[in-house]
């Protein structure tokens, strides 16, 4: 087994892929940081423009969750969609395929770059930009409101200008964290399968599949729930459980897509 999976070789492979892929990666990271800075900067500019009235302060950082989610999906899909783009160009592909490392090792390194590295670097960049701007904001402004929480019987103060990572996040959100990795796996598969314009083709294919899937599910649900009334309170009446199932399925599908990606890599001809 040590000929298929060698930790020494994995390390070498990661270093080698950095030479090929590193520049693209860092540039994407820089663009990402730029976009974050632009959003944060604009929101501060907006507040000053409106003379820092309370309403403006309250909504100043409201863009963050949307930015975070949207850019994360965009970033991870772009990185994953370009990782194996080399295989589409014959001159580069020959060296990639003939490099003396096992297919498994090459695929593991691909997953490392497209999931672990992207996750860590994305969170880091967002953290740093957020830290920088929010520190500045907090030193100049403050905005909070309070309300009475019926469950705990206490008054709760909500700081609206908190650091992004310090906020309380609904636990249900964690159930959806499989989504970027599922997309990453899909776009990675796309970069292996397609030889040109991999990203666009993957994106188009994905959209088509999702649309078809939604249509199909709607029809199925319609069929089963026609002329019916919901009576009992089953397991699935609670939103959390439905989300749990989706999360589980999501993880399974992600692993499956990675499996397909590995197989496609094995069969790749050039």
Partner 1 sequence: MITIKNLNFSYSKSRPLFKNLDLNLQGGRIYGLLGKNGAGKSTLLKNIAGLVYPQEGSIAVLGKDPTQRLVETLQQISFIPEEFHLPAVKSDAFVKANSGFYPDFDHSYFKELIQEFAIPVHEQRLADMSYGQKKKYIISFGLASRTKLIIMDEPTNGLDIPSKAQFRKVMASALTDDRCFIISTHQVRDLDNLIDTVIVLNDRKVVMNATIDQLANSFLFRKMVELPSTVIYAEQAMGGYNTISVNSGDEDSKVDLELLFNAVLEQKIQFENLLNTSYNEQYA
Q: Which residues bind partner 1 (CB under 8 A)?
A: 3-4, 9, 12, 15-16, 18-20, 23, 89-92, 94-95, 97-103, 266-267, 269-270
Minimum CB distance to partner 1 smaller for 56 or for 104: 104
Complex with partner 1: residue 96 or 130, whichever CB lies closer: 96
Q: Least distance to partner 1 from the beta carbon of 109, Å?
A: 13
Q: Measured from the CB of residue 256, what is the shortest distance to partner 1 in angstroms?
A: 23
Of the pair 138, 264, the CB lying nearest partner 1 is at 264
Q: Select 6 or 58, whichever has its Cβ closest to partner 1.
A: 6
Residue 154 bridge partners (DSSP): 149
Write down the least CB distance from residue 143 to partner 1, Å.
Answer: 49
Contacts of residues 110-116 at CB distance under 8 Å and 24 or more positions apart, as own/partner, are: 110/83, 110/84, 110/188, 110/261, 111/188, 111/258, 112/14, 113/14, 113/17, 113/21, 113/25, 113/79, 113/83, 114/76, 114/79, 114/80, 114/83, 114/184, 114/188, 115/76, 115/181, 115/184
CA distances (Å), origin 64, targets 15, 106, 174, 231: 34, 36, 17, 40
Query: Whole-angstrom Cα distance, residue 6 to residue 13?
Result: 10
The residues near 249 (Cβ < 8 Å, ≥ 6 apart) are none
Q: How far is the CB of 266 from partner 1 (least distance, A)?
A: 8
Quote the crossing angle between the two packed helices 239-266 and 103-111, to the nearest 10°: 140
Minimum distance from CB of 83 to partner 1 (Å)? Answer: 15
Output the smallest distance, CB 91 to partner 1, in A: 4
CB of 15 to partner 1, least distance (A): 6
Rounded to 5 degrees, what are φ and ψ at 42? -65, -40
Nearest to 111 by CA among 220, 269, 261, 266: 261
Instruction: Choose between 64 and 106: whose C-beta lies nearer to partner 1.
Output: 106
Whichever of 103 and 138 has its CB closer to partner 1, that residue is 103
Give whichever of 4 and 167 is closer to partner 1, judged by the CB atom: 4
Both tokens of residue 231?
């009576």
Phi-psi map region of 197: left, alpha, beta (phi>0 left; psi -120 to 50 alpha): left
């Amino acid at each position: 087994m040590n000929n298929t999976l060698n930790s020494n070789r994995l390390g070498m492979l990661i270093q080698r892929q950095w030479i090929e892929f590193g520049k693209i990666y860092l540039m994407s990271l820089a663009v990402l940081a730029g976009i974050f800075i632009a959003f944060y900067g604009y929101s501060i500019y907006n507040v000053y423009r409106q003379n820092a009235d309370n309403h403006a302060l309250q909504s100043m950082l409201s863009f963050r969750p949307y930015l975070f989610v949207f850019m994360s999906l965009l970033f991870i899909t772009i990185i994953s969609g370009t990782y194996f783009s080399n295989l589409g160009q014959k001159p580069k592909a020959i060296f990639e395929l003939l490099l003396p490392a096992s297919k498994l090792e090459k695929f593991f390194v691909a997953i490392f770059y497209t999931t672990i590295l992207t996750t860590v670097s994305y969170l880091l960049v967002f953290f740093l930009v957020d830290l920088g701007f929010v520190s500045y904001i907090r030193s100049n402004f403050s905005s909070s409101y309070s309300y009475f929480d019926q469950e705990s019987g206490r008054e709760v103060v909500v700081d609206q200008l908190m650091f992004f990572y310090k906020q309380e996040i609904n636990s249900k959100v964690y159930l959806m964290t499989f989504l970027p990795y599922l997309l990453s796996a899909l776009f990675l598969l796309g970069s292996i399968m397609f030889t040109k314009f991999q990203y666009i083709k993957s994106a188009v294919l994905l959209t088509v599949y999702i649309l078809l899937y939604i249509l199909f599910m709607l029809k199925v649900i319609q069929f089963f729930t026609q002329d019916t009334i919901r009576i009992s309170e089953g397991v699935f009446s609670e939103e959390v459980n439905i989300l749990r199932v989706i999360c589980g399925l999501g993880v399974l599908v992600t692993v499956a897509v990675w499996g397909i990606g590995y197989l496609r890599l094995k069969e790749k001809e050039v």
